[in-house]
Amino acid sequence: PDPPPPPPPTILVTPEKPQYLIGDTISILCAAPGAEGRIQGFRISGTSGWSIDAPTSKRNYTYTFNISSPRDGGAHTCSYTLLQPSRRSTQSQDSQPIVLSVRDPPASPTLSPTPPSGITVEGQPLALLCMAPPSHAGRKFSFYHGQEPVVGGIQESWGSSGSRLLLENSGRNHSGNFSCRYEENTQGRWIPSEPSGAIWILVRERAPPPRLEVDPPSGTVVEGQQLLLTCSAPRDDFGIRFHFYRDGQEILAGQGGSSSSARGKVSDLLFQQIPSGYAGNFSCGVEEEVGEAWVALPRSRDVEVMVRGQDGPLPLVVGCSVGAAVVLLGLLLTTWICRRQRG
């Protein structure tokens, strides 16, 4: 029959503490008892599934590591490999387990953006609020864009409960995943929390100006006839509202007998009967609702509108022609009468 395995080693941990913190440095000593044969190495294992093999001929081995997460806690054992006089390598019995209790890291904070949708337009402010569970412990908050700390911005502390990061002038490069975390002062050490959930931020480019069209397309309309202005926004990703202008001044609701209607990203301004003297350069503007602010786009190009009176040039020409004909007939008649009298 196979000989029994070598006896178990002794296992010790230093420093001994009832509970360890993340970041603590500990050492596990595994010492083999006196036995015939030559030591070939040690194995140290944790219940979380990790193990380390250390080849050595010494009769003890010390493994030192930093606790990085609660997974480094739990039961730990060690064993050794012995080359017996028969030249056979045999694994020893496992040592008695030692149990390491690791304190959980501080709970994850929550991260929320302003605007709440996480979608904004370049040049507009973007704010991120990182909130942690209540505590009286000292805390330090950090924000991350992807895996990198956020550079720039104004960070406002809300004490131990949270912190707010303001990017006053957001750019396209601010699109992407953001997260935050904090460090909590525990027993004189700064212990990092778990990270918050990631949120997606999208910074859209500024939109181009809207397009203004008139009907009739010539831009010339007879007084009292219909004039239709149509303003088309370049997109409808946000809430939008429209404005119409004449010679740079906004046309107020009902002004000039006008009425407006909107459908999607298009708005109409209708003059059912255009007033006299209402000619001018017309344009339109669009505002986008970005978060809690209305952001104005550049105005459309100007379109010139001419209003023609109902008495056009044709009646005047006809009147002048008739008058000239009457005068001419009168002259001819006078000449004829004078010749008759002489004859």
The confidence score (pLDDT) of residue 313 equals 44
Radius of gyration of the chain (CA): 44
Let me know: does 144 contact 128? Beta carbons within 8 Å: no
Residue range(s) occupied by CATH 2.60.40.10 in the chain:
10-100, 110-204, 211-308
- Spatial CB neighbours of 42, under 8 Å, sequence gap ≥ 6: 9, 30, 32, 53, 54, 56, 61, 78, 79, 80, 81
The confidence score (pLDDT) of residue 216 equals 96
Relative to beta strand 38-46, strand 51-55 is antiparallel
- Spatial CB neighbours of 71, under 8 Å, sequence gap ≥ 6: 48
Is the pLDDT at 121 greater than 80? The verdict is yes
pLDDT mean over 99-123: 94
The confidence score (pLDDT) of residue 310 equals 78
C-alpha to C-alpha distance for 181 and 190, rounded to whole angstroms: 12
The confidence score (pLDDT) of residue 326 equals 56
C-alpha to C-alpha distance for 58 and 35, rounded to whole angstroms: 13
pLDDT mean over 216-234: 96
What are the tens digits of pLDDT across the range 278-322? Answer: 999 999 999 999 988 899 999 999 999 999 987 654 443 444 455
The whole-angstrom distance between residue 223's C-alpha and the CA centroid of its chain comes to 51
The whole-angstrom distance between residue 109's C-alpha and the CA centroid of its chain comes to 19
Name the percent of the chain lying above pLDDT 70: 90
Relative to beta strand 162-167, strand 189-192 is unpaired
Is the pLDDT at 343 greater than 70? The verdict is no
Mean pLDDT, the chain, rounded, equals 90
pLDDT mean over 202-208: 94
The confidence score (pLDDT) of residue 321 equals 55
What are the tens digits of pLDDT across the range 18-61? Answer: 999 998 999 999 999 987 789 999 999 998 888 999 999 999 99
3-state secondary structure of 9: coil
What are the tens digits of pLDDT across the range 19-28? Answer: 999 989 999 9
C-alpha to C-alpha distance for 22 and 193, rounded to whole angstroms: 10
Let me know: does 145 contact 178? Beta carbons within 8 Å: yes
The confidence score (pLDDT) of residue 187 equals 87
Candidates 2.40.50.140, 2.40.50.180, 2.60.40.10, 3.40.605.10; CATH matching 211-308:
2.60.40.10
Q: What is the DSSP string of 138-167?
A: -EEEEEEETTEEPPSSEEEE-TTSEEEEEE
Q: Which two tokens stand for residue 61?
A: 């081995």
What are the tens digits of pLDDT across the range 175-201? Answer: 999 999 999 999 888 999 999 999 999
Let me know: does 95 contact 78? Beta carbons within 8 Å: yes
CATH topology for 10-100 is Immunoglobulin-like (2.60.40)
Residue type present at position 54: A
The confidence score (pLDDT) of residue 327 equals 60
Is the pLDDT at 159 greater than 70? The verdict is yes
Relative to beta strand 280-290, strand 293-296 is antiparallel
**Whether domain 110-204 has CATH 2.60.40.10:** yes
pTM, two decimals, is 0.68
Is the pLDDT at 81 greater than 90? The verdict is yes
C-alpha to C-alpha distance for 324 and 322, rounded to whole angstroms: 5
